[in-house]
Amino acid sequence: MALEDICGFKNSPLHRKLSPASCFEDTATFLHMNDNSGTLLNFFMPSFLSSAAFTCRSLAKPSLTVRRPFNLSHGTTTLGFIFQGGVIAAADTRASAGGLVACPFVHKISPIHSHLVVTSSGSGADCMLWERILRREIRLYQLRHSRCLSICGTAKLLSFMLHPFKGTDVCVALTLCGWDKELIYVCSDGARLQGDIFSVGSGSPYAYGILDGSLRWSLSNEEAISLAREAVFRATHRDAYSGNHVDLFHITAQGWSQREREDLKEEYYRDKKRKMTIAEDRKRLTELEVLG
């Protein structure tokens, strides 16, 4: 992207031949985006496929696009919530490709700038790319306007950038977690929701089960972090597509801070031991009652 700009590639006749931009001219949202949008959209147009198949919303023409080896679904557990001490973002670290664990040590939470962190879910490649694009756009905004774009503005920008790709195979669901206690969920089918608690991915129902019961505004920092860890742990226990480790980020007015990555296998054995000691204590108590 940057190299293309510097070389002036977009003005060359080869670029114009390879990436016809005419198919995007009638999309309403294309018009409001300024100069860098031309580079952005043209970059993703495949030159060898007919553009009609790529931009057509209807699913009636699968033959022209590449066949997928597995179903694109969100095999992950990510969560974010707001409490009195700021915002917590947590995610597992497993990247799955169908039934295979493609990588057990992926970073699903990445910082955009010092006070904004994004958790990703969906296609790994798409998420990495769109995080990078978002980082670039935010940095450009910062340089042009000498102030940080607000989280709402960031979410809206991301949502508008993703809109032309609605109906294609782009699959991203990002949760922006920022200072000033805001949490916004943006997804490639166009949803943009602001809220206090979000969990995304195949493990999210399990995580909601833990969070909805125990989340309170007045939690201390330690309690909130252990709640997030517990929610991801329970989700990874039940969901086959989540697992390995848990990443935890804590965002406050001073910026984000990352905790050390924790192995959930250890957590599983700790939890088992805890339950065993509880069972033993209860057995001992009932024995004492029987005797006494």
Partner 1 sequence: MEYLIGIQGPDFVLVAADNVAASSIIQMKHDYDKMFKLSEKILLLCVGEAGDTVQFAEYIQKNVQLYKMRNGYELSPSAAANFTRKNLAEYLRSRTPYHVNLLLAGYDDTDGPGLYYMDYMSSLAKAPFAAHGYGAFLTLSILDRHYKPDLTREEALDLLKMCVEELNRRFILNLPSFSVRVIDREGIHDLEKITPSTK
- Label residue 40 exposed, middle or buried (CB < 10 Å: 0-12, 13-18, 19+): middle
Nearer to partner 1, 148 or 197 (CB): 197
Residue pair 253/82 in contact by the 8 Å Cβ criterion: no
Q: How far is the CB of 188 from partner 1 (least distance, A)?
A: 8
Residue in 27, 65, 76, 252 annotated catalytic: 76
Reference 1, options 93, 132, 89; nearest CA is: 132
* Closest to partner 1 by CB, 95 or 207: 207
For partner 1, the closer of residues 133 and 200 by Cβ is 200
Q: How far is CA 178 from CA 138, 146, 182, in A?
A: 13, 19, 5
Of 87 and 225, the one with the shorter C-beta distance to partner 1 is 87
Q: Which of 284, 257, 247, 263 is nearest to 78 (CA)?
A: 247
What's the length of the chain? 292
CB of 200 to partner 1, least distance (A): 8
Give the footprint of partner 1 on this chain (CB under 8 A). 23, 26-29, 52, 55-57, 159, 163, 166-167, 185, 187, 189-193, 195, 198-199, 204-205, 208
CB 12, min distance to partner 1, A: 28
Q: How far is CA 216 from the centre of its chain?
A: 23
**Minimum distance between the CB of residue 171 and partner 1, rounded to whole angstroms?**
13
The sign of the torsion formed by the CA atoms of 120, 33, 195, 225 equals positive
Active site residue 76: yes
- The crossing angle, in degrees rounded to 10, of helices 264-291 and 221-238 is 100
Compute the least distance from the CB of residue 28 to partner 1, in Å.
6
User: What H or E segment, with its residue span, contains residue 28?
Assistant: helix 28-32
Cβ nearer to partner 1, comparing 19 with 199: 199
Euclidean distance between CA atoms 77 and 93, whole angstroms: 9
Task: Measure the N-to-C terminal CA separation of the chain; round to a whole number of Å.
Answer: 78
List active site positions.
76
